[in-house]
Amino acid sequence: MQQQKRLSQNRKLNQHYSPMSDFAIAAVSAQLPTPIHTIGVLGGGQLAWMLTKAAPSLGLNLIIQTPHASDSALQESTDLEQQAILAPITDIAATAKLAQYCQVITFENEFVDLEALATLAAEDVCFRPSLASLTPLLDKYEQRTFLAKLGLPVPNFAPLETQHLPASFDFPVVIKARRHGYDGQGTFICHTPKDLAQCWQQANQDPAVLMVEAFVPFARELAVMAARSATGEISLFPVVETYQHDQVCHWAIAPVQLSPTTQAQINRIASQILEHLNFVGIVGIELFQTADDQVWVNEIAPRTHNSGHLTIDACATSQFEQHLRAISGQPLGPTHLTTAGVVMVNLLGFETASDHYLHKRRAIAALPQTSVHWYGKSDARPGRKLGHATMLLSSEDRTMAINMAHKIEALWYEG
């Protein structure tokens, strides 16, 4: 009955979108898979905006649940009444309304209330990835526990229950907020007991908030975007190298020279995670590579991810298109690089201002084979992701890629 009710409501909404055919309606009635043409997205930031850019070529409509009409995902909207539900993503009544207009709901970020969403899932609302897939990932301590149970290589970790390190740890250590940390927020490297005491005070001495893990002396940080379809098809994008400063990604480059053994290990890690979660959609997996060629899993983002932005301009299929393909039941696309090399630079806020930095953006876009993706945010503040620039390169040379990253950064921060 719930399925038939939503089907009737979908037909009303799709008088404004692409109408469902009689054949599609008959298929639903016969309990065959419902053709997916409208997708709800919880969250309206830049990741949702880039999803909206990928949707039309796949014949998909997106409806965004987000609090403000000025949010990035709605910057090009011409009909907010049809393209958005203006409400916080934790507003379950709003999400119930969203479910009336789409066949599947997906997530732009992890700041969701799984317990509340479960009441909708019990009413046959389809979430992709499923709530069960997300459950082990949203709390970073629980995510670490999940990875350790799979036998995947992770640093030593534990909940932080006092301002003193557990007996099995030595400085330096990494302290992380278990929930809602992003863009460097909620992650601290502590070298002394004084550093640790400050973290504990900032967390209001709440033992449910923080976790501790051993610091990994990595040689470089890597990341891979991996997608899995509803039929179990798995596809991995090329591995990228990222550079983090103060726990914020500044640039990413591809391709990465890896030994066959290391590449095979990364492939196994990604496939094992996706299969054990029965995940439908895309994940970003951040990794540490040590000087002796060991690979450790850092974190998993159960969504599109900053480290995959270069796929928009440099791969046969973007991470955003791939996610939509996966959750809408379409075949996954090819993921190979279409250029010899590529560098992506995040354009981070460096001041508190209301400025769209048009002069700086034009200077960067004037560089050879360079595209600027601007997120339409009205206010800048230090560290805020305002956009990114991608430069296609004629060589795989890592030094060239890093030099080009520095050239873009100089135009952005100093030009």
To which residue do tokens 């998993």 refer? Answer: 300
79 and 110 fall within a common domain: yes
Q: Which amino acid is at 37?
A: H
Confirm whether 246 is domain-assigned.
yes
255 and 359 fall within a common domain: yes
3-state secondary structure of 173: strand
Confirm whether 136 is domain-assigned.
no
The residue count for the chain: 415
Alpha carbons 327 and 319: distance in angstroms, whole number: 12
Confirm whether 67 is domain-assigned.
yes
Q: Which ranges in 14-152 belong to alpha helices (H)?
A: 22-29, 46-54, 80-83, 92-99, 114-121, 131-134, 140-149
The confidence score (pLDDT) of residue 377 equals: 95
81 and 230 fall within a common domain: no
Confirm whether 404 is domain-assigned.
yes
222 and 80 fall within a common domain: no
163: CATH: 3.30.1490.20
The confidence score (pLDDT) of residue 335 equals: 98
Alpha carbons 330 and 353: distance in angstroms, whole number: 42
Q: Quote the pTM value.
A: 0.90
Torsion of CA 187, 193, 197, 198, to 10 degrees: -60
Asked if 267 and 260 touch (Cβ cutoff 8 Å), the reply is no
Domain membership of residue 207 as a residue range: 156-214
101 and 225 fall within a common domain: no
Local confidence pLDDT in tens for the 415 residues of the chain: 444 444 444 333 333 323 333 333 333 333 335 789 999 999 999 999 999 999 999 999 999 999 999 999 999 988 898 899 999 999 999 999 999 999 999 999 999 999 999 999 999 999 999 999 999 999 999 999 999 999 999 999 999 988 899 999 999 999 999 987 766 578 889 999 999 998 888 877 666 789 999 999 999 999 999 999 999 999 999 999 999 998 899 999 999 999 999 999 999 999 999 999 999 999 999 999 999 999 999 999 999 999 999 999 999 999 999 999 999 999 999 999 999 999 999 999 999 999 999 999 999 999 999 999 999 998 999 999 999 999 999 999 999 999 999 999 999 999 7
Among the candidates 81, 112, 127, a domain finishes at 127
255 and 195 fall within a common domain: no
The confidence score (pLDDT) of residue 46 equals: 98
The confidence score (pLDDT) of residue 200 equals: 86
The confidence score (pLDDT) of residue 192 equals: 95
The confidence score (pLDDT) of residue 88 equals: 97
The confidence score (pLDDT) of residue 205 equals: 61
Long-range contacts of 85-90 (CB under 8 A, 24+ apart): 89/42, 89/43, 89/65, 90/116
The confidence score (pLDDT) of residue 182 equals: 67
185 and 283 fall within a common domain: no
The confidence score (pLDDT) of residue 167 equals: 92
112 and 174 fall within a common domain: no
Strand partners, 67: none
Among the candidates 109, 127, 145, a domain finishes at 127
3-state secondary structure of 405: helix
204 and 222 fall within a common domain: no
For the chain, what is the domain count?
A: 3
The confidence score (pLDDT) of residue 360 equals: 98
Alpha carbons 142 and 149: distance in angstroms, whole number: 11
The confidence score (pLDDT) of residue 179 equals: 87
Confirm whether 147 is domain-assigned.
no
